[in-house]
């Protein structure tokens, strides 16, 4: 019974006492070292200095070569085609003045000969009128003398009649002779008065015949179709033997002395052209207090509907090689803004499409070629050029200021192939700032960083915070961003 009492009462009490003693003993030992959060080292980033304002930048746009002018040569007279050169075919190159087509000139030659005869007849009539005028003047002198004699005889006979020395019959005969002489003089004077009117009529007839002759000569000249300029024949719509009427199309000729490049510019590209210094002319600029470049020369604002004339570089790629032509932005296409593409059609004029070194590559710009047009823009607005690597995906730019990250929100004014242009008056960035070009995963404003290439001796080694073999992987991060 005693053993039973010991096993049921004393043994549990003893176990409890031993446990309490062990707990007291353990509580008297030294406390373990506190766990210290590991302070991570500054993040290593690569930086570059922000460059000064961008003075110019290119605008690239694709385009197609189109002819500067293409004329349609039509028949200006009726007739059968009697001549068409064997080389007058589509695609042939002809020089200015080359005979192309001959329309039968026989009818117009006959008409010209007829008018020549009429003109000679009119000239003869004018010459006869001169002779008649001279004869009439002589006859007038004679008639005047005869009238004077008849008047004198009539006066003398009247005196004799008063003395009863002449009969009434003699007096009537003398008066009749005087009247006849005066009548002849009057007729001659009237004829002489009509001579200027006849001359005026003949001169008008001469002028009319001359005009008809000139029209006939013009029609005769129009029977021969020659090349008005040097170019390439694109369309031939007539053959020898065809009968053509006035207005019928004969062929089309494309000018090759100059070509245009038809391209489409976005409105933001036009914005920079509108706010750019003119072409390749060197202009002096000054910086205003608001960060804008001011042209001291007054800008011509009298042509709001004309596109700014900017030098252009036309590049065509053939067989993996690039060939260059010089051009100039000349005009709008005239259709305004395309409602579907929201672009504006423009023309770039290339005044010398023929390459000097034609032994290598295309000898000239050809119609339909696809080319790239580069327009060099010199903006009047001050811009900052930020490398593309320095702009984070969320549109922020990080800089390093005294070893700390600083965030800057920017809005791109123009995106280029390797950089982003930002208006200087829309950001607090300034030339010389250190731009971070390292891609950051979780950056935070104010995080400690270290620029690549700086002295690393200043970085103290952080002691291992492991406890009893722990590698310290559970240390607390300070929130700094890590590079991928």
Q: Mean pLDDT throughout 30-38?
A: 58
The confidence band for 448, taking pLDDT boundaries of 50, 70 and 90, is confident
Q: Mean pLDDT throughout 434-456?
A: 74
Q: Answer yes or no: is pLDDT of 177 > 80.
A: yes
Q: Mean pLDDT throughout 180-186?
A: 85
The confidence band for 473, taking pLDDT boundaries of 50, 70 and 90, is very low
Tens digits of residue pLDDT in 335-350 = 788 888 899 999 999 9
What's the CATH architecture for 57-64+257-377? Beta Barrel (2.40)
Percent of all residues in the chain with a pLDDT value above 90, rounded to a whole number = 31
Name the residue with higher pLDDT: 37 or 45. 45
Name the residue with higher pLDDT: 14 or 68. 68
Q: What is the pLDDT of residue 244?
A: 93
Q: Answer yes or no: is pLDDT of 41 > 90.
A: no
The confidence band for 250, taking pLDDT boundaries of 50, 70 and 90, is very high
Name the residue with higher pLDDT: 338 or 457. 338
Q: Answer yes or no: is pLDDT of 78 > 90.
A: yes
Q: Answer yes or no: is pLDDT of 467 > 50.
A: no
SS (H, E, C) the chain: CHHHHHHHHHHHHHHHHHHHHHHHHHHCCCCCCCCCCCCCCCEEECEEECCCECCCEEEEEEEEEEECCEEEEECCCCEEEEEECCCCCCCCEECCCCEEEEECCHHHHHHHHHHHHHHHHHHHHHHHHHHHHHHHHHHHHHHHHHHHHHHHHHHHHHHHHHCCCCCHHHHHHHHHHHHHHHHHHHHHHHHHHHHHHHHHHHHHHHHHHHHHHHHHHHHHHHCEEECCCCEEEEEECCCCCCEECCCCEEEEEEECCCEEEEEEEEHHHHHHHHCECCCCCCCCCEECCCCEEECCCCCCCCCCCCCCCCEEEEEEEECCEEEEEEEEEEEEEEEEECCCCCEEEEEEEECCCECCCCCCCCCECCCCCEEEEEEEECECECEEEEEHHHECCCCEEEEEECCEEEEEECCCCEECCCEEEEEHHHCCCCCCCEEECCCCCCCCCCCEEEECCCCHHHCCCCCCCCCCCCCCCCCCCCCCCCCC
The confidence band for 3, taking pLDDT boundaries of 50, 70 and 90, is low
Name the residue with higher pLDDT: 163 or 347. 347
Q: Mean pLDDT throughout 188-207?
A: 88
Q: Answer yes or no: is pLDDT of 254 > 60.
A: yes
Q: Answer yes or no: is pLDDT of 360 > 90.
A: no
Tens digits of residue pLDDT in 278-297 = 544 433 344 444 444 444 33
Q: Answer yes or no: is pLDDT of 312 > 70.
A: yes
Q: What is the pLDDT of residue 192?
A: 86
Tens digits of residue pLDDT in 106-148 = 999 999 999 999 999 999 988 988 888 888 888 888 888 888 8
Highest-confidence segment of 244-253, 424-433, 439-448: 244-253
The CATH code belonging to domain 69-104+224-255 is 2.40.50.100
- The CATH class, in words, for 45-53+383-458 is mainly beta
Highest-confidence segment of 13-22, 256-265, 432-441: 256-265
Q: Answer yes or no: is pLDDT of 272 > 60.
A: yes
Q: What is the pLDDT of residue 193?
A: 85
């Amino acid at each position: 019974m005693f053993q039973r009492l010991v096993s049921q009462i004393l043994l549990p009490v003893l176990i409890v006492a031993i446990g309490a003693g062990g707990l007291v003993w353990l509580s008297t030992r030294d406390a373990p070292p506190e766990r210290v959060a590991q302070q991570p080292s500054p993040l290593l980033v690569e930086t570059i200095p922000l460059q000064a304002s961008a003075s110019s930048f290119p605008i690239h746009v694709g385009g197609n070569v189109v002819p500067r002018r293409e004329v349609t040569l039509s028949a200006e007279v009726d007739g059968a085609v009697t001549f068409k050169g064997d080389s007058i075919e589509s695609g042939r190159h002809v020089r200015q003045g080359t005979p192309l087509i001959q329309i039968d000139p026989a009818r117009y030659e006959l008409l010209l000969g007829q008018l020549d005869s009429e003109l000679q007849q009119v000239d003869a009539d004018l010459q006869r009128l001169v002779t008649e005028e001279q004869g009439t003047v002589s006859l007038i002198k004679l008639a005047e003398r005869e009238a004077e004699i008849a008047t004198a005889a009539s006066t003398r006979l009247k005196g004799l009649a008063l003395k009863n020395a002449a009969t009434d019959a003699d007096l009537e005969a003398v008066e009749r002779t005087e009247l006849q002489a005066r009548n002849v003089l009057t007729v001659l004077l009237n004829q002489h008065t009509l001579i200027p009117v006849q001359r005026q009529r003949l001169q008008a007839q001469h002028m009319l015949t001359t005009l008809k002759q000139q029209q006939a000569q013009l029609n005769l000249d129009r029977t021969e179709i020659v090349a008005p300029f040097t170019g390439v024949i694109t369309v031939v719509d007539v053959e020898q033997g065809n009968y053509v009427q006035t207005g019928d199309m004969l062929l089309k000729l494309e000018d090759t002395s100059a070509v245009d490049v038809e391209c489409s510019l976005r409105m933001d590209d036009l914005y920079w052209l509108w706010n750019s210094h003119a072409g390749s002319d060197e202009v002096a600029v000054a910086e205003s207090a608001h960060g804008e470049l001011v042209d001291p020369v007054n800008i011509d604002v009298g042509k709001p509907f004309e596109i700014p004339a900017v030098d252009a570089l036309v590049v065509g790629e053939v067989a993996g090689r690039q060939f260059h032509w010089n051009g100039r932005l000349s005009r709008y296409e005239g259709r305004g803004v395309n409602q579907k593409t929201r672009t504006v059609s423009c023309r770039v004029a290339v005044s010398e499409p023929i390459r000097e070194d034609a032994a290598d590559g295309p000898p000239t710009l050809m119609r339909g070629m696809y080319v790239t047009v580069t327009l060099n823009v010199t903006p009047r607005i001050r811009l900052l050029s930020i490398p593309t690597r320095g702009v984070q995906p969320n549109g922020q730019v990080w800089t390093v200021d005294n070893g700390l990250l600083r965030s800057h929100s920017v809005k791109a004014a123009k995106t280029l192939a390797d950089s982003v242009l930002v208006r200087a008056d829309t950001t607090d960035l300034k030339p010389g700032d250190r731009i971070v070009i390292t891609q950051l995963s979780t950056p935070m404003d104010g995080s400690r960083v270290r620029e690549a290439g700086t002295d690393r001796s200043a970085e103290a080694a952080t002691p291992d915070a492991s406890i009893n073999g722990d590698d310290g992987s559970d240390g607390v991060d300070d929130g700094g961003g890590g590079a991928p």
